[in-house]
Amino acid sequence: MMALDLSQNKHADVSYDEKERLFDEVKADDRWQHVLYGCYECGICVAACPSARFYDFSPRVIAQAVAREDVDLIYTLMSDSIWDCSQCFSCDRCPRQNSPGQIITIMREVAVKNGLQTAKEALEGYGRIIYKIMSTGSQVSPDMLQPDAFPDWGTHVYEIAENLEEWRKALPPETLHTTETGWKVDQKTIIELYLIWHMTGVMDLIEGVDEGLFMILVDVMEERLEEAGYDDITFD
Amino acid sequence: MAHEEVKGCVILKDLHYSVQDNTWVKADGDIVTIGMTDIAQSLAGPILHAKTKGVGTSRKKGRPIATVESGKWVGPVKSPVAGEIVEVNEGLASDAQLINRSPYKDGWVVKMKADNLAVDLSELTTGDAAVAAYKEKIEQDGIECSHIDDTDTYD
């Protein structure tokens, strides 16, 4: 009888050694010792998980796959299922103190660091948000409320998009009279952020996942850093 | 102007294209006008901001000459030639959707003085070859172009 293969052999083109290397990178993470202890199969994590209600997703499958060190299945999950998690950590109520959510955090980081195609696809839709956060320090900006980005809002979003400046001016604090950023961001804050991105190597991660995004971020950052007197800092 | 339409996407035959980066070039002496293709504007959707690099900026081929943001996308316009920006389309600052409505005319992005125009042009695609290359790309990526109101027509 053939052994049950939950990975469905979806990634037979990737060598076992490569899959094992990626899992070793997950296990080498400092947080690894604190996120997985064993599984009763009680299903409390699944019951608490909002993503499990809406997607073909189960935090228990994640915890069990890594506990069993099922390298093929782990790669399959890294290429698909881990991107269904909403990272709300409702699963942290595990009686064994497992944290499927944090296991996924580590798996996602490894997927991004290694430039996995599925990581690129999963993050594609977030390009503009990453650009906003990293270039301006403010995350969701009012001008993201566009009809093509929020079709589920119906006609209301047309009205908002068309009269955005007026809506924003109606807000009492002047620091919120912005449309391109969520609020007026201080120059000092921005420069500090850029220096943090530079020191921590975050830009190398971005370059691996989205070269176009990397290019335009570097352009903005190097220009503003130079204006602030940091003309010796480059990201390339 | 001779053009062809594939799945609603307009391709002008007299322009030179970087098919991969979805940009076009029109040469006038060693000054080239650069813009985004109809396919690029369609993939981006209605554009909110198009920020060009300043006049005097030197760019290598493939480096960004502008950043374009739409509701769902942000990305660079990559220079199809090496050279120096000599003029930018000032109209884009107040009306970035010029790129959507008129990608090949009023929505041009920058003009550059090319360092090595003959070499750069020879690496771009034009005429029937460009139409064939775009046909393949459109088919492969399942692209279908869409246009906002008051878009240029080509007869």
First to last CA, chain A: 54
CA atoms within 13 A on the CB side of A28: 8
Distance, CA of A62 to CA of A80 (rounded, Å): 12
Distance, CA of A126 to CA of A132 (rounded, Å): 10
Q: Is pLDDT above 60 for A2? A: no
The predicted complex's ipTM stands at 0.81
Q: Which residues contact B28 (CB under 8 A, 6 or more apart)?
A: none
Give me the mean pLDDT over the A172-180 stretch. Answer: 94
Residues of B in contact with A160 (CB under 8 A): none
**pLDDT for the residue B21:** 95
Bridge pairing between strands B47-52 and B58-59: unpaired
Q: Is pLDDT above 70 for A194? A: yes
Letter string b/e over residues B111-140, b meaning 16 or more CB atoms within 10 A of that residue's CB: bbbbbebeebbeebbbeeebbebbeebbee
Give me the CATH code for the A16-122 domain, please: 1.10.1060
CA nearest B55: which of B81, B95, B84, B83? B84
Give Cα separations from A134 to A58, A199, B76 (angstroms): 32, 14, 15
Please indicate whether, in this complex, the C-beta atoms of A148 and B67 are within 8 angstroms of each other: no
| A182: enclosing H helix or E strand | none
Residues of A in contact with B78 (CB under 8 A): 212, 215
Mutate to test the interface with B, among A128, A143, A213, A235 (most CBs of B within 10 A): A128
Q: Give residue limits of the domains in chain A.
A: 16-122
Q: Which range is least confidently modeled, A55-59, A211-215, B41-45, B72-76?
A: B72-76
Please indicate whether, in this complex, the C-beta atoms of B72 and A146 are within 8 angstroms of each other: yes
Q: In the numeric block, which tokens belong to residue B57? A: 């900026």
Bridge pairing between strands B31-36 and B23-28: antiparallel
Mean pLDDT (chain A) is 91
Residues of A in contact with B45 (CB under 8 A): 146, 148
Distance, CA of B121 to CA of A13 (rounded, Å): 39
pTM given for the model: 0.77
Give me the mean pLDDT over the B122-137 stretch. Answer: 95
Please indicate whether, in this complex, the C-beta atoms of B74 and A219 are within 8 angstroms of each other: no
Mean pLDDT (chain B) is 94
Q: Is pLDDT above 70 for A123? A: yes
Beta bridge partners of B24: B17, B35
Band the pLDDT of B73: cuts 50, 70, 90: confident
Percent of chain B with pLDDT over 90: 90
Residue at A200: amino acid letter: T
**pLDDT for the residue A67:** 94
Q: Which one of B70, B71, B76 has the shortest CB-CB distance to A216? A: B76
Q: What residue in A sits closest to B42 (Cα-Cα)? A: A148
Residues of A in contact with B73 (CB under 8 A): 127-128
**pLDDT for the residue A1:** 44
pLDDT in tens, A24-73: 999 999 999 999 998 888 999 999 999 999 999 999 999 999 999 999 99
Please indicate whether, in this complex, the C-beta atoms of B76 and A215 are within 8 angstroms of each other: yes
Please indicate whether, in this complex, the C-beta atoms of B64 and A125 are within 8 angstroms of each other: no
Could you tell me how far CA A23 lies from the centroid of its own chain? Answer: 19
Residues of B in contact with A150 (CB under 8 A): 71
Band the pLDDT of A5: cuts 50, 70, 90: low
